[in-house]
Amino acid sequence: MPDTLQDVLLPPDLEKQLASNTNLPSLPVIAVKIIEASKDPDVTLREVASIISADPAISAKLLKIANSPLYSQRRAINNLREALTLLGFNAALTIALSFSLFHSLKVKGHSKCNHDNYWKRSILSAQIARLLGQRFRLSKLEDLFLVGLLQDIGILALENLTPPPYFNYDKMCIKHTERISLERSTLKLEHSCVGAWLLESWNFPPTIVNAVLHSHSLSNHIQVQDKTDSQFHLCLSFSGTLADMWLEENPNELFQSTLEAAGLALNIDADEFSQLVSDINKEMLVISALFDVNFDDEIKQGGILEEAREVTLLRSIHFIKQTEHDQRQIENIAEQVKEITKENQLDYLTKVYNRKHFERLLEEEYENANVNRWPLSIAFIDIDNFKEINDTHGHLVGDKIIVAIADFFSDNIRQTDILARYGGDEFILMLPGSTSHIAEEALRRLIKLLSTSMQINVDDEILTPTVSVGLASHMDINTFDDVESFIRAADKALYKAKAAGRNCLAVY
């Protein structure tokens, strides 16, 4: 197998056929724009959002995948901007490209063979490659998905030639391994070479082109730059082998050989393989909904899963013999740990996040803003004249007002915003993806709403709490070197608001 596409020499007649064939798949306009954007290191949020929002169907798919179990988050994603923030530039572009290519090529496809089976294998391979990438903790999971989806696109190219160059019409519906054997014997190459040629003609990045070129080889001799590249290649190369277990008529017959191959190629044992099969079954429902492809053959899936469970049973008999009482103890302990973890994240009085957990979340969002060049705003919120309220009415009334302020902001901020009690009568609010202008408008509205709507009855006296707010924004009108200076800026703005007479907002 050649190391790069430059080393590939397609037979002259075949290359001529491919280059002149008008029936070959073509890229939709949005796919061309996405490929161009993915190559631009200076691409902006506005540009990415503009490209993707031009196709409402892809925008909807991107929102759907951002809210799917594949990207389970602590908050719902409600718009394209939030989805782009969560996924990141490169991942969002790659996912959008996957949806665009799938929809365009599937609709235009007119292969003589089982077209549905082709796309089932492509989607399964893509999701399996991504799952394997998660196991190796690889960062480019969406690249794995895209290459998994495109690794057999050479088949579409070859089958759209008239006549097909390597076998007759009555032999079109054959197994994948048999197809490759025929290609090697008649064309002296595989459809992965043709697929790489096609992707290069579409101006795909060289990394994607070369990944497709080597997608059908488990050889360890392929030149890679580092261990991560090697693992990326293994995940991709093995994805189709695993996908075939769901598509063959007798999947259980493939189980043992695939298990052995997984042990050699991926260094996973029977228990891990069983878990992998289970994960694939679970995610099949998610991915079928995202791509509108029917994977309803529950008998095959069940047979494979039962085989996997049998192996797990034999390998893990000491766990299965565990008594019901012990199992309940484990579940109780796990539930206690979960509750303790949750309690450690929340403020005991207000039940919003505490300062320690907020600072951990802020570090993550700050890094995300730096990597993706997204705006990020934070605001200190201080209850006006709180010491006077405590001295006059007592600490119980003070606590009641602190809780009321926490409830007010929790009820009136976006699901993507994060509120925490910073200490005493002071709160801090994080607004991911919000520019200074957007955050300022929202906070001024909340200050006004609070001052006109909140009334607390204390011994027949009506208290109307107000707040002062200090706002700072990162990757917008200011850029801060670290989280500490970002927080100090918001704190300075808060003191400015207090000096201006309270019940108002100041911007750093």
Give residue 317's pLDDT.
46
- Mean pLDDT check: name the lowest of 14-23, 210-219, 318-327, 442-451: 318-327
239 in the same domain as 91: no
Give residue 169's pLDDT.
46
Nearest to 265 by CA among 142, 132, 124: 132
19 in the same domain as 33: no
Residues 324, 326: Cα–Cα separation, whole Å: 5
Give residue 298's pLDDT.
43
Among the three residues 82, 108, 134, which one is the final residue of a domain in this structure?
Answer: 108
Does residue 444 belong to any structural domain of this protein?
yes
30 in the same domain as 18: no
Full residue range of the structural domain in which residue 19 is found: 5-23+111-317
Q: State pLDDT tens for residues 47-70.
A: 888 888 887 877 887 888 778 777
**Residues paired with 362 in a beta bridge:** none
212 in the same domain as 302: yes
Does residue 331 belong to any structural domain of this protein?
no
Give residue 200's pLDDT.
87
CB 128 within 8 A of CB 243: yes
pLDDT band at 496 (very low <50, low <70, confident <90, very high): very high
Does residue 213 belong to any structural domain of this protein?
yes
382 in the same domain as 299: no
Give residue 222's pLDDT.
47
Over residues 249-265, mean pLDDT: 74
In the chain, the largest separation of any two C-alpha atoms, in whole Å, equals: 94
How would you classify the pairing of strands 418-423 and 376-383? unpaired
Give residue 329's pLDDT.
66
97 in the same domain as 156: no
31 in the same domain as 19: no
Question: Residue 388's domain is classified under what CATH number?
Answer: 3.30.70.270
Give residue 304's pLDDT.
61
Give residue 417's pLDDT.
92
CB 176 within 8 A of CB 121: yes
Give residue 221's pLDDT.
43
Q: State pLDDT tens for residues 178-207.
A: 888 888 888 888 888 888 888 888 888 888
DSSP secondary structure, 302-344, as one string: HHHHHHHHHHHHHHTHHHHT--HHHHHHHHHHHHHHHHHHHHH
Total domains, the chain: 3
Give residue 430's pLDDT.
95
119 in the same domain as 148: yes
Does residue 379 belong to any structural domain of this protein?
yes
Over residues 6-33, mean pLDDT: 74
Does residue 49 belong to any structural domain of this protein?
yes
Does residue 338 belong to any structural domain of this protein?
no
List Cβ neighbours of 292 (8 Å cut-off, separation of 6 or more): none
Residues 44, 354: Cα–Cα separation, whole Å: 34
For residue 328, pLDDT beyond 70: no
Among the three residues 266, 296, 317, which one is the final residue of a domain in this structure?
Answer: 317
Classify residue 22 by burial, with Cβ atoms within 10 Å: 0-12, 13-18, 19+: exposed
Does residue 333 belong to any structural domain of this protein?
no
Give residue 135's pLDDT.
86
CB 165 within 8 A of CB 127: no
For residue 290, pLDDT beyond 50: yes
Q: What is the mean pLDDT of the chain?
A: 80
DSSP secondary structure, 235-271, as one string: HHHHHHHHHHHHHSSSHHHHHHHHHHHHHHHH---HH
252 in the same domain as 226: yes
pLDDT above 90 covers what percent of the chain?
Answer: 25
Neighbours of 292 (CB within 10 A): 10
Does residue 50 belong to any structural domain of this protein?
yes
Q: Where are the alpha helices (DSSP H) in 21-114?
A: 29-38, 45-53, 56-66, 80-87, 89-108
CB 478 within 8 A of CB 472: yes
104 in the same domain as 120: no
pLDDT band at 279 (very low <50, low <70, confident <90, very high): confident
Among the three residues 86, 108, 130, which one is the final residue of a domain in this structure?
Answer: 108
DSSP-based three-state secondary structure for 166: coil
Residues 268, 262: Cα–Cα separation, whole Å: 6
252 in the same domain as 139: yes
The residue with greater pLDDT, 300 or 383, is: 383
Give residue 296's pLDDT.
65
449 in the same domain as 421: yes
Give residue 18's pLDDT.
81
